[in-house]
Amino acid sequence: MSDFTDIADIYPIVYTQGRTIERDSRTLTFTVVTAGRVSLPSGRIVACDPLTAGRRSSFIQTVLPGRYPVDLALMRSGNGGERVAMARIKFTSRQPLVWVMALCKGEDQATLVSDDYFGYNTESGTGSFMDDEAASKADFAHLDDIDTLLASLTSNYQSHRYWMEHPLDRRLNVIMFSSGQGAGSYASYFGIDDAGDICTLVTDFQLLS
């Protein structure tokens, strides 16, 4: 499981292009790729499994409306397998100094014990970022041609990882990506810079924590 110390330690490792570390007798190499730019006209962010009928609540923390890059930290192990270790929205070029858990309405961090956390469940092995306005439109379970969407989503599939930018209309889109080792429950965290502003949002897929 992840905690704030884990995120603070892991983030600069996975988001350093070409970084290599040794862990559990394995050589791990990290590559950063941009999956697309997420449109956030309301500034309210939803992180969820876009392919199932799970939680679609936006975080109580908000950002300035805009269109922001979504960067994936890919982890390659010595056997050649590659997975998405973290996904982030980058709001500014400043570095995070403090990490806070991303919370939805009704979630109270004070109620958590030990290593518990609030996050979203993914059954399809897919995560995403989207605007709150997009959440109601991203009802892929009722698409007439879901096979076409899945084919597009996995068009760049390579050794356990994939991603795509899916437009919903002229204003809204969804950035989708594979979630670490697949199905699970994953927490998100906001990175706060030394000026007290949100500079990034990450979802940790727990490959290192």
Distances (CA, A) of 197 to 154, 165, 166, 189, 201: 35, 27, 29, 14, 12
**Could you count the other beta carbons within 10 Å of the beta carbon of residue 81?**
13
Contacts of 31 (CB under 8 A, 6+ apart): 17, 18, 73, 74, 76
Residue carrying structure tokens 């290192």: 208
Model-level pTM greater than 0.75?
yes
Boundaries of every domain in the chain: 4-204
In order along its 209 residues, the chain shows pLDDT tens digits of 344 448 999 999 999 999 999 887 888 999 999 999 999 999 999 999 998 876 789 999 999 999 999 999 999 987 767 899 999 999 999 999 999 999 999 988 888 887 889 999 998 889 999 999 999 888 766 555 566 676 677 666 676 888 999 999 999 999 999 999 889 999 999 999 999 999 999 999 999 87
